[in-house]
A = this chain, B = another copy of it.
Amino acid sequence: MTSCKQTSKIKSALPSSNIELAILGMVIFIILGLNQLAMANTSPNLFITTTDIENMRSAIKEQGTFKQAFVINKALVDQQILEAIVVPMPEDGGGGYTHERHKKNYKLMVNAAIIYQLTQDERYADYVRDMLVEYAALYPTLPLHPKRKMGKQNPGKLFWQSLNEAVWLVYTSQAYDLILSSLSKAEKEKIELGLFRPIVKFLSVDSPETFNKVHNHGTWTTAAVGMTGYVLGEPEWVEQALYGLDKSGEGGFLRQLDELFSPQGYYNEGPYYQRYALMPFVTFAKVIQNNQPERNIFEYRNGIVLKAIDTTIQLSYNKLFFPINDAIKDKGIDTIELVNGVAIAYGLTGEAGLLDIAKQQDQILLTGDGLKVAQALDKKLEQPYHFDSVAFGDGNDGKQGALVIMRQNVDGEQALLFKPAAQGLGHGHFDKLTWQFYDKGEEIVSDYGAARFLNVEAKYGGRYLPENKTWAKQTIAHNTVVVDEKSHFNGKVKIGNKKHPELLFFEKNDHITISSARIDSAYKGVSLTRTMAFIDLPELDPSLVIDVFDIKSDSKHQYDLPVHYKGHLISTNFELGTQLTNLSVLGKDNGYQHLWLKAQAHPKTNLSQITWLNKNGRFYTQSSIVDDDSSIIFTQIGSNDPLFNLRNENAFIYRNPQSKNHTFVSVLEPHGEYNPSKEYTINAVSKVQKLIHKKENNIDVVEITFIDDRQYLLAFISSENNQANQENKFSFNGSKYQFNGRFMFLEINK
């Protein structure tokens, strides 16, 4: 147990790296000799300020969205505080009873504490106090959690991992701040000595590795400790939270802001974890802003916190996050982390586009920023949020590859994700240069996401399933090239983390977005270059995706390029060669062991066409250049899956059995409509008739001919050192062409 120092809750006077401190000429309070306990008369001022509370108290006297949210929340709290307080001895792991109960408790404490502030009814504060007292009695007696997994996660005491303990404290410190004014000195002493000081000690000085770690677990921990420091008036804890235990700046919250996001605010584990990581960043930043505005935390690193919030929104389609890496597909923009983020960002910036997102989130927070959002929505101030086509540079310098998002500009109904991004740590997949395609609200070319049934005990305890590693992370589970049936980096995360693709270019104009990237390190001696162009010409209704995947090697290999399609196969322009009465497994390992071989086709023409129908009622045809050696394999996930853990999804795989160099060229074409309700079907057949690819002087040329004889030419350069204003020349079919920069697209037979 820590001893109590003679300090009060103060504005920090300790050294800060923020130059603005001096500029702003801040007033420094150093008041020694006062009560060492948190000062009730400054409460609340952690996440919600006294001014916020005054505004909220006024708002609930009038009709409106905010009052509705208050009424609902109060009713929920009223119901819950009727029940006896339960603070159980920690026993269960994630999803188990005691785990869930302690999670429920922190949420309940915050909610009840807010209702206390809004109603000024002591019953709510007393309830929180009583629960905190129980925790204060329990906590000092706790050993490490019985379900801890040493070596895997850092253990907690209330929870099996210290991560949950830090989350618990981020919330509970807020609840405490909100009821401080209702507590006697003795009560405060009991709670702080029994609970807050020991838990802070446990999370900081007793766990230096986690605390100093530049990782989202570290962010939760530093936020928890820093926030508690503000409430208990321990500026030392705040300093440690910001600069690491030794205050050197090598660890701590600011270092995390420097390292964990790219300059554009992209978090390199991907949006699923970005969303999760966001919570402690925005919460602690807001707390710092409330307590030490002179730190200008929201301006830190050119406004990285706000950029991270905005990027999280950009990384969604139809309200759901793009499922890259270990992502559960149900997560979307209505997640509480982003509700909080959007409210805070709106509170700071007043951007009307954020209200569009807030409206879709349909959750009003009982906070100062939540009030601002609610009042703005009541006034219908929202404007359409603008989803953009962006290449999000990866890594802390933004130069370790990129995550590329292309949007159709007319109505944004289509999105293409192209992923020359870095590995993304332990949750990363071996999916360099993969892509995904979305249309009319649905997945069209899809990614499996994570193999996990979150918190479903019967499915491997609710944790990541074994098949997450054996299938979901493997290269064949993605829409990118697999060489010799092995995964990128031979499936080694450590190697993957050290390497990354290079973004060669990303360009866009009114109708075309195009990007090219390369990686030479995924396979030894094999260079992979992919160029994806999203063409959205008005006359090409609805649009086209052109994909040129160029492989170079000095030795012969088998190259597989899978397309994980979503929908029902409608037709192919070749014999399928379907297995009718017996299915066997496609391969032995690296994910191949999970694929049933349903059909293997050997197209006789050099243009293969595969059409499927998505549940959105639209048809999709992929037309592809195939050479004589190639075959197309149709697969279904499901073999070597003894417990039916995997979803039985379908794919086709273009296979080139042995080549040194090979280029996969294809065009994806959404078309037509199937409407069995209104009983019509239109344009169920592809309009692409011919596809030619050639390469001349580093210039790739793709010619597309439609059944009405219209012809289009795409030319691009994917070499590293092309200059924007360089004049590129090539001849094709007897005609000569030239263009500046990276690409050219034109109709040639007009």
Contact = CB atoms under 8 A, between A and B. Distances in A.
A80 B331 CA distance: 44
User: By CB atoms of chain B within 10 A, which of A457, A639, A677 has the most?
Assistant: A677
Interface string A502-536: 00000000000000000000000000000000000
Interface string A570-592: 11000010101111110000000
Contact of A570 (B458, B580, B640, B676): B458
A330 B644 contact: no
A679 B454 contact: yes
A676 B457 contact: no
A576 B642 contact: yes
Q: Is the contact region of chain A dominated by helix, strand, or loop, or is it mixed?
A: loop
A672 to B, nearest CB: 9
B332 A674 contact: no
Interface in A655-690: 674-681, 684-685
A22 interface: no
Given A583-B582, A596-B583, A639-B580, A570 B456 contact: yes
Given A462-B681, A676-B454, A681-B454, A585 B581 contact: yes
Nearest to A334: B677
A581 B680 contact: no
A677 B640 contact: no
A186 to B, nearest CB: 37
Interface in A576-618: 576, 578, 580-585, 596, 598-599, 611, 613
A614 to B, nearest CB: 13
Contact of A328 (B571, B650, B676, B684): B676
A674 B647 CA distance: 16
A557 interface: no
Contact of A644 (B462, B576, B648, B676): B576
Contacts of A674: 453-456
Interface string A436-462: 000000000000000001111111001
Interface in A219-277: none
A679 B580 contact: no
A260 to B, nearest CB: 22
A331 to B, nearest CB: 6
A491 interface: no
A455 B681 contact: yes
B456 A681 contact: yes
A100 interface: yes
Interface string A85-99: 000000000010000
A648 B636 contact: yes
Contacts of A456: 570, 613, 674, 681, 684
Nearest to A599: B644
Contact of A582 (B458, B569, B582): B582
Contacts of A634: 644
Q: By CB atoms of chain B within 10 A, which of A331, A458, A640 has the most? A: A458
Interface string A626-659: 0000000010101111111001101000000000
B571 A458 contact: yes
A568 interface: yes
A722 interface: no
Interface string A330-348: 1110111000000000000
B459 A570 contact: yes
Contacts of A328: 676
Given A571-B458, A677-B330, A685-B458, A640 B453 contact: no
A457 B681 CA distance: 9
A95 B596 CA distance: 35
B584 A581 contact: yes
The 8 A-B pairs at the shortest CB distance, nearest first, are namely: A455-B681, A458-B571, A583-B583, A569-B644, A330-B676, A454-B676, A330-B677, A578-B642
Given A458-B570, A568-B644, 12 more contacts: A330-B675, A330-B676, A453-B613, A455-B680, A456-B674, A456-B681, A458-B611, A459-B571, A578-B644, A582-B583, A582-B584, A582-B585
Interface of A: 95, 100, 328, 330-332, 334-336, 453-459, 462, 568-571, 576, 578, 580-585, 596, 598-599, 611, 613, 634, 636, 638-644, 647-648, 650, 674-681, 684-685
24 contacts: A330-B676, A330-B677, A332-B677, A335-B677, A453-B568, A453-B674, A453-B676, A455-B679, A456-B570, A457-B685, A458-B570, A458-B571, A458-B684, A459-B571, A462-B681, A568-B647, A576-B642, A581-B584, A582-B583, A582-B585, A583-B583, A583-B596, A599-B644, A634-B644
